[in-house]
Structure 1
Amino acid sequence: MKVLISGGGVAGLTLAYWLRRRGVEAVIVERAAHGRLGGYGIDFFGTGYDVAGRMGIVDRLAPHRLPVDSIDFVDAAGRVGARLTTPLLDKIIQGPHLALMHTTLEGALLDAVEGEVEIRFGETVTAVRDTGSAVEADFAGGGTQRFDLMVGADGIHSRTRELVFGPEPEFARYLGCRLACFPVADRYGWGRARVHCTEPGRQVVVYPTGRAGELIALFLFRSSRTGNVPRDERPGLLRSTFGGMGWLTPSLLAEAPADEPIFMDTMTQIVMPAWHRGRVALVGDACGCMTMVSAQGVSMAMAGAYVLAEELATRGDHRLAFAHYQERMRAEVSRRQRNAQMFTRSLVPGTRPGLVAQSLAQRLVMREAFAPVLRRRFGADSILPPQTSQPVKE
């Protein structure tokens, strides 16, 4: 069996690794020239950590954890109103966890498949035809190739989903917020903290990347505007939205890159009635994006890839494999999407009274007594059954 994977990010690389381990040939096409660029931090625990452990890459990831010992919530003057410390976070998660840069994880996954999986960088699929017995894919670089199956692992704005299932608006659930981020120089003598400053309708987050002298500035803001913002309009939109905000905001805005595009996107979930059609399936954000506020997007993308590879390798029929994969994953994804929906409503309050209520709630729950409540909110446990020894095809 030969499987085409569209997308060389976390989900696609994880899927290719496990397919290869189970004796299935995979080919990845990735539109970026040398792998994706993800200049933001992720919380890595639960199922994703479990899958990484089974891949043997945790030891590579651990030395690159972000140097963050606390999550601080400050006001416009920089005064700390609430703090989530590492010991409290340990009690909430109750298991191994890492804070990482997205590129650190993708780099480890790339190394794990190097020499084992064909990856065609700078390539995209332009057309897909399911003949019933195979999938024919046309490529932007020219040519057509047949595969037994195809999997779209190409993210929230999945081209595979558009070609096979329909346009994005049919499946998009916009949560009313946008986010943007870019790296800035550490001119502040930053410590080992991730710091959030919130005003009505907008929030700024700053944290160290682990690289000497570098921080990430993340901007969240309420917006009724959906769809893409052209790259040349993004700096102006940030300046107009965050103008007059306190704390470090003016300095951070002044460091917005002029010669490189600013990453900006909507807080949007993907909700679909079916994750597969014929010989084509979707995995990760392409079918079940939860948004960054879930703190589970990367972990569940790796979970979906692991489960899909397992089903394809053990079921004799791809239709059964796709159906069982969706059945195993959908409830877990839906639950995390609901949690993210609820949390987003209070993440960036739109009014001053809402902000006051948020501050009071933060002071209340950042205590050991509320660890079980926060634990239920984040859903940190691995969804995979304990691993048992099984033959692996090489």
Structure 2
Amino acid sequence: MRVLISGAGIAGPALAFWLHRHGIAATVVERAAAPRPGGQAVDIRGAAKDVVARMGLMARVRAERVDERGIATVDAAGRWTSTMAADAFGGEGMVAEIELPRGDLARVLHEATRDDVDYRFGDRITSLRQDGPRVEVGFASGGAEEFDLVVGADGVRSGVRALAFGPETDFVRPLGGYTAFFSIPDPGDLRHWYLMYNAPGGIAAGIRPENGGTAKAYLSFRSAERGLERLPVADQQRLLNERLAHVGWRVPALLQAMPQARDFVFDALCQVRVEQWSRGSVVLLGDAGYCGSPLAGLGTSMALVGAYVLAGELAASGGDAQAACLAYQRRLQRYVDAGTELPPGGIRAYAPNSATMIRLRAVSMRMMTRWPMKQMLAAQFAKAGAFELPAFGSAVPV
């Protein structure tokens, strides 16, 4: 069996790892010239911790972990108005026990697979033609090859999904807001906490600690307008300056630092929902097929668990890749449905419109670790672990 994976972020290399362990040849194609560094913080929760442990990579992942001790909301003067420590809810709360930059996790996965997997950086899939059980794939670099399975692990804006399933608008659901993130010099007073500020009008801003003398800045606003993520970067930054010009706290300093950042990213807050994850011998993995948005916070964990299950089903399929893809969805559907469900309040809770709602949100957050709200939230956070990893016996031990 030959498997082609589009995307060398997190889902793609994780799948390649498990395919190799099952003796299945994997090729990973990535349009970037090299593994992408940086990126926002991602977390590993619940069943995904078991996946990383079975990969033998937990020590390396923990070595890259950011020392982030919790999240605190602040007012315009910088006073903390509510807190939730990272050890709340057994390390599975709003800030997880294992938080690390996306690029660092991608690097760990790439380093664990680069000697065994055919990586093709600086290339991308331009056409897919299914003829029987195999797929003929055309590449931007020229030429075509046949594979038994093509996996779209290329994120929310998946090119594979567009080619095999249909236009982005059929599957990507805007949530009514936009967010930007970029690195800034560490301000030196975060005390290892993620600080989050809200202003009336659906504005949210934050600073998260990182390693290596930097911090990650976040700027968000609510808007029903679509397509702003496609604007040139200069226009995106101009828009942020216009929307946040009146905002207090540290927002003026963040806006001033924004043009100097080399890792600026601006995107819509959205979900991805695909009813059927496979079409013949093309299948979606991770955010390309099921993304609950940053508000849901389980994207990385679902990608890691999904990679483990898809590889295992392929190994158990007796060479029937299409049957394996259907089994992969059957096994994961309930876990993914829970993981893509938005937390209570959705974007309204993340970026309240009024000063009154901002104050009420701070009160609510202070109550989250107390009875009876603690019991209700425990069920919300527990869904990350509500999946028992199956044992796929053909994997070669570490």
**Structure-2-length-normalised TM-score:** 0.93
From 358, 361, 380, the counterpart of 1:358: 361
Match of 1:20 in 2: 20
Shifted more, 262-271 versus 358-367: the winner is 358-367
Contact 2:338 2:383 (8 Å CA) reproduced? no
Q: Choose 157-166 or 47-56, whichever is displaced more.
A: 47-56
Secondary structure at the counterpart of residue 77 of structure 1: coil
Using the alignment, how far apart are the partners of 1:279 and 1:86 within structure 2?
Answer: 41
Partner of 2:274: 272
How far apart are residue 237 of structure 1 and its match?
Answer: 1.2
Secondary structure at the aligned position of 1:244 is classed as: coil
Q: Number of aligned residue pairs: give it.
A: 393
Give the equivalent residue in structure 2 for 1:377: 380
Equivalent residue for 1:208?
Answer: 209
Q: CA deviation at 1:91?
A: 6.2
For residues 287-366 of structure 1, what are the structure 2 equivalents within 5 Å?
287-316=289-318, 317-340=320-343, 342-366=345-369
Which stretch of structure 1 is more off in the superposition, 227-236 or 379-388?
A: 379-388
The residue type paired with residue 242 of structure 1 is L
Q: Is the partner of 1:339 in helix, strand or coil?
A: coil
Contact 1:5 1:150 in 2 (8 A): yes
CA offsets, 1:115-156, max 9 Å, x none? 100100111000010111311111111111111111110000
Deviates more, 1:259-268 or 1:165-174: 259-268
Q: Counterpart in 1 of 2:283?
A: 281
Comparing 73-82 with 41-50, which one deviates more in the overlay?
Answer: 41-50
CA contact (8 A) 1:234 1:262 kept: no
Q: Structure 1 168/365 Cα, relative in aligned 2: closer, same or farther at 3 Å?
A: same
Q: Deviations over 1:58-99 (max 9, x none)?
A: 101112221222211111111111011234243655xx8311
For residue 45 of structure 1, give the secondary structure of its aligned residue in structure 2: coil
Change (3 A) 1:144 1:26: same
| Conserved 8 A contact 1:82-1:366 | no
Quick check: 1:28–1:120 contact (8 Å CA) kept in 2?
Answer: yes
Q: Distance in 2 between matches of 1:89 and 1:382?
A: 12
Q: Secondary structure at the match of 2:66?
A: coil
Find the aligned partners of 1:259 and 1:193 in 2 and give their Cα distance.
22
| Larger deviation, residues 41-50 vs 349-358 | 349-358
- Assess if the C-alpha contact under 8 Å between 1:34 and 1:122 holds in 2: yes
Q: What pairs with 1:1-394 in structure 2 (closer than 5 Å)?
A: 1-90=1-90, 97-200=97-200, 201-212=202-213, 214-227=214-227, 228-258=230-260, 260=262, 262-316=264-318, 317-340=320-343, 342-367=345-370, 370-385=373-388, 390-393=393-396
CA–CA separation in structure 1 for the residues paired with 2:371 and 2:12: 38
Task: Quote the Cα distance in structure 2 between the aligned partners of 1:115 and 1:65.
Answer: 24
CA gap 1:389/1:327 in 2 versus in 1, 3 angstroms: closer
Task: Report if the CA contact (8 A) 1:66-1:210 is conserved.
Answer: yes
Contact 2:47 2:389 in 1 (8 A): no
Change (3 A) 1:291 1:61: same
Find the aligned partners of 1:92 and 1:373 in 2 and give their Cα distance.
14
CA RMSD of aligned residues (A): 2.2
Q: Relative to 1, partners in 2 of residues 1:117 and 1:278: Cα closer, same or farther, differing over 3 Å? A: same
Q: CA deviation at 1:188?
A: 4.4
> Take 2:183 and 2:147, find their aligned partners in 1: how far apart are those partners?
40
After superposition, the C-alpha distances for 1:357-376 in whole angstroms (9 at most, x for unaligned) are 21221122244764332222
Unaligned runs of at least 5 residues, structure 1: none
Please state whether the residue corresponding to 2:342 is helix, strand or coil. Answer: helix
Q: Secondary structure at the match of 1:264?
A: strand
Task: Return 5+ residue gaps in structure 2 as ranges.
Answer: none
Residue 278 of structure 1: how far off its partner (Å)? 0.8
SS at match of 1:196: strand
How much has 1:350 moved relative to structure 2? 1.8
Alignment CA distance shift 1:74-1:138 (3 Å) = same
Please tell me whether the aligned partners of residues 294 and 378 of structure 1 are also in contact (alpha carbons under 8 angstroms). Answer: no
The structural deviation recorded for 1:194 is 0.6
Distance apart, 1:387 and its partner CA: 6.2
Output the amino acid matched with 2:3: V
How far apart in 2 are the matches of 1:383 and 1:15? 21
Structure 1 CA distance for aligned equivalents of residues 338 and 364 of structure 2: 23
The C-alpha deviation readout for 1:306-354, integer Å capped at 9, x for no partner, is: 1111111101322221111111122222222223474333111122332
Structure 2 contact 182–261 (Cα < 8 Å) conserved: no
